């Protein structure tokens, strides 16, 4: 029988694209388990695929608890692919409106930043003190820029 390779937490997290702290959180929640403890936690190759799935789901915006529910359904004795796929599709479907809202917010912030940049560029050649600058006093250019930047937060 071939000797199976085990991976350290550092090797696993580097390959899966997450931090060791995140891995510890996933372990604490029971999403992933080391295969054996010999001073250092060691993981089999299957743990890499599981961690990649967890990282991908987190990147989509699923909570650790939701990911746990999906993994629990997948790992259940007699689990059927269709049932797990249906659950995952429902979770991903719930994310679509949230992502759409985030995109709309980011577009508003982007537009505000464009206006703020234009305002700053119009003030860039000015050498007047702010308190005596006619443009700043009349147009409130710097105040407008500040307001635009604060609204985006």
43-72 residue pLDDT tens: 888 898 999 999 999 998 889 999 999 898
Structure-token pair, residue 78: 């007699």
User: Could you give the residue range(s) of every CATH 1.10.1660.10 domain in the chain?
Assistant: 1-79
pTM value surpassing 0.85: no
Q: Dump pLDDT digits (tens) for 99-109.
A: 999 999 999 98
pLDDT attached to residue 92? 87
pLDDT attached to residue 101? 95
pLDDT attached to residue 1? 40
In CATH, the architecture of 1-79 is Orthogonal Bundle (1.10)
152 has pLDDT over 50? yes
Strand partners, 37: 41
- The C-alpha angle 66, 72, 74, rounded to 5 degrees, equals 105
pLDDT attached to residue 77? 87
Confidence of residue 25 (pLDDT cuts 50, 70, 90): very high
Measured CA to CA, the distance from residue 146 to residue 47 in angstroms comes to 48
């Amino acid at each position: 029988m071939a000797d199976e390779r085990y991976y350290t937490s550092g090797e696993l997290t580097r390959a899966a694209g997450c931090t060791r702290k995140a891995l510890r959180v996933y372990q604490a929640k029971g999403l992933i388990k080391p295969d054996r403890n010999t001073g250092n936690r060691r993981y089999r190759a299957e743990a890499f695929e599981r961690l990649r799935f967890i990282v991908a789901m987190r990147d989509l915006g699923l909570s650790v608890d939701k990911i746990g529910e999906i993994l629990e359904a997948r790992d259940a004795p007699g689990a059927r692919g269709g049932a797990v796929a249906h659950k995952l599709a429902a979770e991903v479907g719930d994310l679509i409106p949230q992502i759409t809202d985030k995109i709309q917010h980011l577009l508003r912030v982007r537009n505000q930043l464009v206006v703020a940049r234009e305002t700053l560029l119009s003030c860039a050649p000015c050498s007047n003190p702010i308190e005596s600058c006619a443009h700043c006093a009349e147009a409130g250019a710097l105040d407008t820029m500040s307001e635009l930047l604060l609204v985006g937060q």
